[in-house]
Every structure is written in structure tokens, then in C-alpha cells.
């Protein structure tokens, strides 16, 4: 409930918890990034071309985050 109470999130990423646990046991840095959309909540219809465009933009953004994290790996 901490994340929800602090940031008022609509969802939380729990599936990667096992990955974090194993990585920590082996001393391996790990980051979990998930992009979530919810057309039902936003009352939007599915548009294949829009989804493809957004997916590409999200992938490029995640790539930037990962590259930045790698550049600063010693700070983690």
C-alpha cells in the first residue's frame, strides 16, 4: 500500500519480484520497467496504428532509461 498511498498509482508491478529476489541473491543489478495502458479505464477504443506508434515511443524511452542506468551503474 506504500506505493499507492505515496504516489496514488493505479497499478503496481509485482511480477518482477522474483527476478529482484534472485538477482539480489547473486549480487546482480536489475531494473524492472513496465509500460501499462488501460483502454477500459480511459474509455478509449483500440487503434492498431496508434498502439504501434506508442509502443515504439515507449521502447525508445525505456532504452534511454536503461542506457542512463548503465552509464551510472556504480551509483546504484
Rounded to whole angstroms, the Cα distance separating 29 from 23 reads: 7
Task: Answer whether 0.85 is exceeded by the pTM.
Answer: no
Rounded to whole angstroms, the Cα distance separating 54 from 63 reads: 14
- Phi first, then psi: what are they for 38, rounded to 5°? -145, 90
Pair 12, 34: CB distance under 8 Å: no
Taking only the tens of pLDDT, the chain with its 76 residues reads: 787 788 887 777 778 888 999 999 999 988 888 777 666 666 677 778 888 888 888 889 989 988 988 888 776 5
Amino acid at each position: 500500500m506504500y506505493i499507492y498511498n505515496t504516489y496514488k498509482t493505479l497499478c503496481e508491478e509485482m511480477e518482477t519480484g522474483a527476478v529482484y529476489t534472485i538477482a539480489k541473491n547473486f549480487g546482480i543489478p536489475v531494473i524492472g520497467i513496465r509500460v501499462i495502458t488501460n483502454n477500459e479505464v480511459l474509455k478509449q477504443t483500440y487503434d492498431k496504428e496508434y498502439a504501434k506508434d506508442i509502443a515504439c515511443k515507449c521502447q525508445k524511452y525505456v532504452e534511454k532509461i536503461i542506457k542512463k542506468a548503465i552509464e551510472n551503474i556504480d551509483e546504484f
